[in-house]
Structure formats: C-alpha cells, structure tokens
Amino acid sequence: MTDTDDLLRQVSAKASATTEHLPPPATAEEVAQAERALGLRLPPVLTRLYREVANGGFGPDYQLLPLVGEGRTAVNDYREERGSLDSDGGAYWPADVLPILDWGCGMYAAVDCRSPQGVVLLFDPNGASGDWHDSWYVDSESLTGWLETWLSGTGWYEEDTDDDGEMRPWKSARQRLAEGR
C-alpha cells in the first residue's frame, strides 16, 4: 500500500463519517469525458479522489464540487470562469486551474492541473487591487498535503487553528492569466 492509498482510505473514511449522503464515485468514462471537455489532464491524486472516494460532496466546509453531473460541477465552473472577463476585458481565471471548492464570497480552492502533485491554490478576489494575479495564493504545494491538512483539522479555514492566515502569492498567476486569450 502506498502513502496515497492510505491517505485516500482516510479521506474516504472521514467523508463517509461526516457526510450524510455521499455521492458515488465518478466512473473512469466520466473522468475521461471531463478531461476531454476541459482540454487538460487531471493530476493523478485528483483523479483518484473523484474515482475512489466520491464525485464531490465532501471535504472542508463547503465540500468539493462534483467533477461531472447535473447542476454545478468543477467542469462547468472552470468553463464559466475561464470564459468570463472582468470589466476591463482581462482574464481573472488562469488556464488549466480547476476550481474544486467554492469557499463563498467569490473565493475558490483550485488545483493547478499542470503540476503533477496538484498544487492547491486559493483564489480570493476580495480586496483585489485591480490586478487579478494579486488574488491568487498557494494554499498547499500538493493536493495530498491539502487533504492531510483537512484530515488533521489544521487548515486556515478552521476556527481553532494556529495558522496566521498568511499565504504566499502564486508566482505563475500573471503568466497563466495571459495564456489563451
């Protein structure tokens, strides 16, 4: 058993224990269809999360968006966010960054699908200075690290955390926002 196997087993156990109606996992074909629709490959751990735990509906606070299905999904949110422009005609959502969780107030957790480890980013447009690249932060260097933080109850979003709330800016934001326009 790998560390990832153990982590996903723990995530599945917590998801089942904390979610009344956990949706079934996504099928291999649904993940493949999502990747085709997005025009990108999901990081391996994200694929396994959706395939082995559930198609969203678990996780920190507001819970992961379903990857596919009816209504609001990660695929639909990505298409919508990437297709939207700000009032100056500029992009605010980077290429190949999949929203996985809506924190509310315009904030998202998102995974950089170009990074094999699935860097988790925080998009926080509140108080943006007019340059959207200033709204992107690195929440975790990997999706596995982000999930471990959720499992341990030490995320910045937890009420009883010692986290000082300071995240480092995502250095690739400016370049990635300029792509594909």
Unique residue bearing structure tokens 């108080």 = 127
The answer to whether position 143 is within a domain reads yes
Task: Judge whether residue 181 has pLDDT over 60.
Answer: no
Task: Judge whether residue 91 has pLDDT over 70.
Answer: yes
The answer to whether position 149 is within a domain reads yes
Q: Domain containing 151 — which CATH number?
A: 3.40.1580.10
Owning domain of residue 54: 3-156+167-178
User: Shortest CA distance to 148 belongs to which of 12, 11, 39, 41?
Assistant: 11
The answer to whether position 161 is within a domain reads no
Cut 0.85: pTM above it? yes
**Per-residue pLDDT tens digits for 140-164:** 999 999 999 999 999 988 865 555 5
Percentage with pLDDT > 70 across the chain = 89
Residue 91 forms beta bridges with which residues? Answer: 85
| Local structure of residue 91 (DSSP, 8 states) | B
